């Protein structure tokens, strides 16, 4: 238990069919936070994304219990596809589901990152932002004061409303 079966970022020349035991699939985000993606057990495969797409491994897989797994290499998959080419569709469906899970984690991370950056920017520019309260900024970068009803672009040129 707690053994790493594969690590995010590694190249993958095989996938594993889990015969017995439980593994956790974990995506490590750019801030080194571990995000649980899935828990897999007997009858499921892991590591197929890297093997089938040629991309690096997109997650780390850790054994939660003692695991017995069958390693399935690229030559073995080639033999399987030669006899049952329709399996490509099944694998693609599984890949699409798993990719969507990773994309959701990335989207959640981006939302959190954006909120954190907004807080940091507001802290750095807190003085000017406090002064700007009561003013609206237009999409073109002009500022309209809610009190004097005139427009001023960021170059300082004024023009009437």
The pLDDT value given to residue 106: 74
Contacts within 8 Å (CB) and 24+ apart, 124-127: none
Question: Quick one: CA dihedral 144, 146, 116, 113, positive or negative?
Answer: negative
134-147 pLDDT, tens digit each: 655 554 554 554 45
Q: Are 22 and 61 in contact (CB under 8 A)?
A: no
Q: How far apart are CA 107 and CA 103, in angstroms?
A: 6
Q: Is the pLDDT of residue 130 over 70?
A: yes
The pLDDT value given to residue 150: 47
44-96 pLDDT, tens digit each: 999 988 998 898 998 999 999 999 999 999 999 999 999 999 999 988 888 88
Mean pLDDT (the chain) is 81
The pLDDT value given to residue 25: 93
Looking at residue 157, the DSSP 8-state letter turns out to be -
Could you give phi then psi for residue 28, rounded to 5 degrees?
-100, 120
């Amino acid at each position: 238990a707690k053994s790493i079966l594969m690590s995010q970022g590694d190249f993958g020349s095989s996938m594993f069919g889990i015969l017995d035991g439980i593994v956790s699939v974990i995506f490590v985000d750019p801030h080194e936070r571990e995000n649980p993606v899935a828990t897999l057990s007997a009858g499921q495969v892991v590591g197929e994304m890297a093997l089938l797409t040629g991309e690096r491994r997109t997650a780390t897989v850790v054994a939660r219990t003692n695991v017995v797994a069958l390693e399935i290499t690229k030559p073995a998959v080639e033999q399987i596809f030669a006899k049952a080419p329709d399996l490509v569709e099944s694998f693609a469906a599984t890949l699409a589901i798993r990719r969507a899970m990773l994309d959701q984690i990335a989207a959640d991370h981006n939302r959190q990152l954006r909120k954190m950056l907004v807080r940091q920017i507001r802290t750095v520019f807190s003085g000017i932002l406090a002064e700007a309260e009561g003013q609206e900024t237009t999409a073109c970068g002009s500022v309209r004061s809610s009190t004097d009803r005139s427009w001023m672009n960021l170059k300082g040129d004024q023009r009437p409303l």
